[in-house]
A and B are shown apart, each in its own frame.
Chain A
Amino acid sequence: MMCRVRLVTLRALACIVLSAACLVAQESDDSHREATVGMRAKIMQLVVEGSELVPAPSTSESVLVVRVLATWPHGDHLRYDLEWVGFEEGTYDLTKFLVRKDGSSMDNLSPVEVNVLSVLPGDAFEPSELERSPATRLDGYTTTQIVTGVFWGVGLLSILFIGRKWKKKALPAPPKPTLADRLRPMVERVASGNADAAQKAELERLLVAFWRARLDLGSVRAMDAIVTIRNHKEAGALLRQVEAWLHAPEPPAKFDVAGLLRPYRAVTADSLAVTSAALGGGN
């Protein structure tokens, strides 16, 4: 009998202790049923009837997210440690954000209300809606490369060829007058006394050219050629006469210009063939 009384007493004490523990836990959980926007809060040792609960799938639009930290059996029920985060101000029932793991109904479940507080003043405006930018184009790389390459090539060719003076195919130049062709008319003009200083100078240069050709001095420097011509027995004498006529302050008396130039009238285009005898009879 005594034993039975003790057993009943012990059971009663156990119930009292458990009830007290539940009350303490309930009181401590109440302090975590409020949190500001974005801050995490926990509800510990929450006993919920029925089969096991798991967090409902959340979206970017969800105003509150719940995580189940731990689960223990609690008689016929289950006891949970929960963590939650609210994203918008208001009072929410956590059970709305949980679902049965086995998919059974959540009806007749006591609400577990939490309060999400805002730290912003009431008249704070909402941030602007994010604008979705169009996705970067990921295809068409090869096409872009080809188009860019074509433009680059066109640009390069433009730089290389636009504005360049193209060498035109040279038209066949009219044959240059030969030395003889130039010499004869000049000799005639000077011999007739109708030449000005420029024409006399031209004649003198042509005579030097004539002797350069005749003495095969075409590849010799001009100065060396003139020295050679002046030192040449036949050419030197003739050239000095021409120089005396053209450059001396007073040309020699009775100077026979026509006679001096007469041999050069006989110059032919082909061979500059003037005989020594003809050239020697100039003066």
Chain B
Amino acid sequence: MTAPADTAARFVETRKFLDQITTRVGQVVVGQDIVVERILISLLTSGHLLLQGVPGLAKTLLVAAISKTVDLAFSRIQFTIDLLPSDIVGSEILDQKTNEFRIHRGPIFTNLLLADEINRAAPKVQSALLEAMQERRVTIGNDNFPLPAPFLVIATQNPVEQSGTFELPEAQLDRFMLLHRLEYLKPEDEIEVLRRNAKLGVRRDGKGAVARTEFDVLGEQEKGSVEQLVKAMEDVQEVHVSETFFEHCVEIVNRTRKHPSLELGCSPRAGISLVKASRARALIHGRDYVVPEDLFALAEDVILHRIRLSYEAVAEGHTSAQVLQEILNEVAK
């Protein structure tokens, strides 16, 4: 481990870089500080993120803002029922000039991939994406292609419209380090959104013009660099995790496996994700070590999509969130 003085100095730079990202994104997106923090955690730990929320909560804008702010390559795929795996990973195409096959790389070859409404695609497409997420490489024809680094998938799903969707099974949900549930903005934040939107004006385009949107503002953002991001990712690995913290993690994970209302508890991957995400959160909050607050703050996003209620608990009207809160309360009671 680096000496404490060096570590502190590096963290100061990284803190500055992370604060800049938060500030820049905050200029475009209002009232989503927690979501920005979660995206940064995902970015710093290369853990994929699933955002669940109704349409219109600026999910796409948020991800686009992050990618522009850090100068990352960004692709967006709108998942639909007729999407094919080759539409994501790419395919071999016959070049009629040379009569040879050439590789056409799909939109997955990017740094930041927004998979919009992932639950609308057929399971084989979801599976293709999730395999790429896990292995960070794709196979086209007979060749393997590594995905760019950093590579992060931020998927969204709408919890309301379930008709014509394919719910992600627990095994595939487990691939997402975090599942964050977006909520509506506070009234004061929503007023700020309206106020900013009212000032956007129009953008001239040749002889015509179109009304400016928040996406137009993104182009004017000052950009950070990938090198700074890589440095921040390295700094996350320097964040100290004590034995006591490991004990807390295992205690919570084990309680999910023993709770009578839960049919499926957390996998070991959940514990790993808790530690990884906690380290990134500690760095974002300016600490070089994790504390139980990180654990409790991230428990819902890390654990909730990895547990499944028993039939009896569902029949009694319990929810996964209630059970998790019960577990967390018991841990500190």
Q: Which B residues are in CB contact (< 8 Å) with A246?
A: 242, 244
- The segment from A31-39, A221-229, A264-272 found at the interface with B is A221-229
Q: Which A residues are in CB contact (< 8 Å) with B300?
A: 223
**Nearest CB of B to A149, in Å:** 33
- The segment from A97-105, A109-117, A195-203 found at the interface with B is A195-203
Q: Tell me how many residue pairs across A and B have CB atoms closer than 8 Å.
A: 73
Please tell me if the beta carbons of A247 and B290 are within 8 angstroms of each other in the complex. yes
A87 to B328, CA, bound (A): 100
For residue B100, CB closer than 8 A to chain A, the reply is: no
A202 to B297, CA, bound (A): 19
For residue B145, CB closer than 8 A to chain A, the reply is: no
Which secondary structure characterizes the binding site on chain B?
helix
Please tell me if the beta carbons of A249 and B296 are within 8 angstroms of each other in the complex. no
Please tell me if the beta carbons of A223 and B328 are within 8 angstroms of each other in the complex. yes
For residue B243, CB closer than 8 A to chain A, the reply is: yes
A108 to B251, CA, bound (A): 124
CB proximity to B under 8 Å, residues A28-85: none
A158 to B331, CA, bound (A): 43
Please tell me if the beta carbons of A249 and B240 are within 8 angstroms of each other in the complex. yes
Per-residue contact bits, chain B 242-259, to A (CB 8 Å; 1 contact, 0 not): 111111100100000000
Given the interface contacts A205-B331, A222-B328, A222-B331, does A249 sit within 8 Å of B293 by beta carbon? no
A228 to B38, CA, bound (A): 21
Quick one: which of B245, B325, B331 contacts A247, CB cutoff 8 A?
B245
For residue B9, CB closer than 8 A to chain A, the reply is: no
Per-residue contact bits, chain A 218-247, to B (CB 8 Å; 1 contact, 0 not): 100111011100100000000000010011
Residue with the greatest number of chain A CB neighbours at <10 A, chosen from B244, B293, B331: B244
A200 to B248, CA, bound (A): 10
Interface residues on B, range: 20 to 34
Please tell me if the beta carbons of A249 and B289 are within 8 angstroms of each other in the complex. yes
**Nearest CB of B to A219, in Å:** 9
Given the interface contacts A197-B246, A249-B288, does A209 sit within 8 Å of B333 by beta carbon? yes
Other contacts beyond A198-B247, A247-B290, A248-B289: 12, CB < 8 A: A204-B244, A204-B248, A208-B332, A209-B333, A212-B332, A222-B331, A222-B332, A223-B297, A223-B299, A225-B332, A248-B240, A249-B240
Residues of B within 8 A of A (CB): 1, 4, 240, 242-248, 251, 288-293, 296-297, 299-300, 325, 328-329, 331-333
Residues of A within 8 A of B (CB): 197-198, 200-202, 204-205, 208-209, 212, 218, 221-223, 225-227, 230, 243, 246-250
